[in-house]
Amino acid sequence: MSIDALNNAVMEPLWFNEESYEFVTSPKALTVEVVNVHKACSLNAQWHSRFPVIKWGNVVRNKRSVCFYAHDGAVIYAVAIWSSPIAANRLKNGDKMLELRRMAIADYAPKNTASFMLKKMRYWIFNNFEEIETLVSYQDTEAHHGTIYKADNWTVGGESALSEWSTSTRVRSSAQSLAKKIRWEYKRK
């Protein structure tokens, strides 16, 4: 890992001593908290395996949005960005959903950090957004197997091939991925 990459993930750079720091070995040692969208987008750019670019304006312009990070008080290990679903108008009750737009985990994060973080974020969202009934996330089948969703008891809500997002009034740039997507859902209990 580069020094610049670590410096972006260090919470208090003036107090951090990388020579004496020990990375945590269990996700249970991490705290999951809300973080500002700018920091979340910056960390996503550094860590996301497939879609590093997400513009903060495209997150906050939604009806609802929230970002989280997982840290041990010294170093950040993971980040996640949530917003109202991009395709809310294509989903039944899309206005009562929140979509996990990005989740990025640092290489040095302990095993199971992603599913641990999903659980913590789910509790926070359902306690703070009373109108949210369902969480959704899209798995890129070329890059992932859906393991984190299975581990947190999400269910498959559908599968889809690539569909065109351009309309007569808004032309989108090229698709980020041409892979089949699986929509995972977690319904409020």
Closest to 178 (Cα-Cα) out of 29, 41, 50: 50
The residue whose two tokens read 């989903």 is 91
Strand-pairing partners, residue 32, are 70
18: which 2 tokens?
């990388």
- Other CB atoms within a 10 A radius of the CB of residue 81 amount to 25
pTM: 0.83
Q: Do residues 183 and 157 lie in contact, with contact meaning Cβ atoms separated by under 8 Å?
A: yes
CATH of 3-139, one of 3.40.50.2300, 3.10.20.600, 3.40.630.30, 1.20.1050.10: 3.40.630.30
Closest to 153 (Cα-Cα) out of 128, 124, 131, 122: 122
Instruction: Write the pLDDT tens digit of every residue in 121-153.
Output: 999 999 999 999 999 998 887 877 789 999 999
Q: Do residues 157 and 136 lie in contact, with contact meaning Cβ atoms separated by under 8 Å?
A: yes
Alpha carbons 76 and 107: distance in angstroms, whole number? 11
Alpha carbons 166 and 90: distance in angstroms, whole number? 14
Instruction: Write the pLDDT tens digit of every residue in 51-86.
Output: 555 665 666 677 788 999 999 999 999 999 999 887
Closest to 115 (Cα-Cα) out of 67, 76, 150: 150
Instruction: Write the pLDDT tens digit of every residue in 1-45.
Output: 555 556 678 887 777 777 788 889 999 999 999 999 989 988 888
> Strand 134-140's sheet: what is its strand order?
31-34, 65-71, 76-83, 97-105, 134-140, 181-187, 155-160
Q: Do residues 176 and 51 lie in contact, with contact meaning Cβ atoms separated by under 8 Å?
A: yes
